[in-house]
């Protein structure tokens, strides 16, 4: 097995073990400075673990999941705030929400469900159609990303502005695909209703 993949697996095994420590031990400590003190080693670990990965895609995504999302969610958890509080019923739920870019949908207030015009309500059929459309768009974006990566082989023949445009598209598509791939298994396994991570920002007229 490639050394990069081995390091990637070791990093995530360490991260999951650390989150088990948070779930079983730190969660029993009263909120506040004492719980924060017990979380300090995890903050350091989550900050340093991505440094063991030399790959830009693996290291960058791991740094985002652990160094950014994980640390800030655990910081809120230290004071009994954020998506990890109150303690989640299952360990896998805690691990998924702690280090993955997902936000559970909140149940709307009862008053918002009352709509005088029923035609504006989303039907299951339209909801399923939207999910299929988003899946197709994700596949198309993955193809575009593969084309951009292949275009780097001809970098010497491309204008500087074209290369910079490719970098911008590469960044957006990579982030979009990584976040979608991270959220899809959690949604499929646990049946979570997850808020949209992106709502096609390139279609906004205010850019």
Transcribe 139-166 into DSSP letters.
HHHHHHHHHHHHHGGGGGGS-HHHHHHH
Of 49-58, 68-77, 106-115, the one with minimum mean pLDDT is: 106-115
- Residue 119 confidence (pLDDT) above 50: no
Domain limits for position 180: 123-203
pLDDT at 4: 84
**Both 95 and 20 in a single domain?**
yes
- Residue 48 confidence (pLDDT) above 50: yes
How many distinct structural domains can be found in the chain? 2
**Both 137 and 92 in a single domain?**
no
**Both 92 and 127 in a single domain?**
no
Looking at the domain assignment, is residue 116 inside a domain? no
**Both 138 and 86 in a single domain?**
no
**Both 90 and 144 in a single domain?**
no
Q: Write down the residue that tokens 């959690």 correspond to.
A: 186
CB 136 within 8 A of CB 180: no
**Both 33 and 74 in a single domain?**
yes
pLDDT bin (cut points 50, 70, 90) of residue 197 is low
**Both 80 and 132 in a single domain?**
no
Q: 31-47 in b/e burial notation, b at 16+ Cβ within 10 A? A: eeeebbeebeebbebbe
Q: Give Cα separations from 168 to 72, 113, 144, 163, 174 (angstroms).
A: 26, 40, 13, 9, 10
Mean pLDDT along residues 174-180: 84
Looking at the domain assignment, is residue 142 inside a domain? yes
pLDDT at 24: 93
pLDDT at 182: 79
Q: Which residue has the higher pLDDT, 51 or 191?
A: 51
**Both 76 and 8 in a single domain?**
yes
**Both 21 and 83 in a single domain?**
yes
pLDDT at 110: 52
**Both 94 and 136 in a single domain?**
no
**Both 130 and 67 in a single domain?**
no
pLDDT at 112: 47
pLDDT at 157: 87
pLDDT at 39: 95
- Residue 107 confidence (pLDDT) above 70: no
């Amino acid at each position: 097995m490639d050394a990069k993949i081995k390091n990637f697996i070791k990093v995530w095994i360490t991260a999951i073990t650390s989150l088990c420590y948070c779930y079983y031990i730190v969660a029993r400590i009263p909120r506040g400075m004492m719980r924060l003190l017990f979380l300090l080693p995890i903050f350091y670990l989550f900050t340093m673990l991505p440094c063991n990965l030399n790959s830009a895609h693996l290291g960058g995504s791991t740094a985002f999941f652990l160094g950014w999302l994980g640390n800030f969610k655990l910081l809120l958890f230290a004071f009994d705030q954020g998506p990890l509080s109150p303690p989640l019923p299952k360990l896998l739920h805690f691990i998924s929400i702690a280090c993955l870019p997902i936000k559970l949908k909140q149940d709307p207030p009862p008053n918002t469900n009352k709509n005088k015009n029923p035609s504006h309500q989303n039907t299951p059929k339209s909801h399923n159609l939207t999910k299929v459309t988003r899946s197709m768009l994700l596949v198309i974006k993955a193809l575009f990303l593969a084309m951009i990566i292949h275009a780097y082989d001809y970098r010497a023949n491309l204008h500087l502005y074209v290369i910079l445009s490719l970098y911008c598209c590469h960044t957006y598509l990579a982030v979009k695909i990584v976040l979608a791939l991270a959220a899809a298994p959690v949604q499929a396994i646990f049946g979570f209703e997850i808020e949209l991570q992106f709502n096609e920002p390139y279609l906004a007229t205010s850019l």
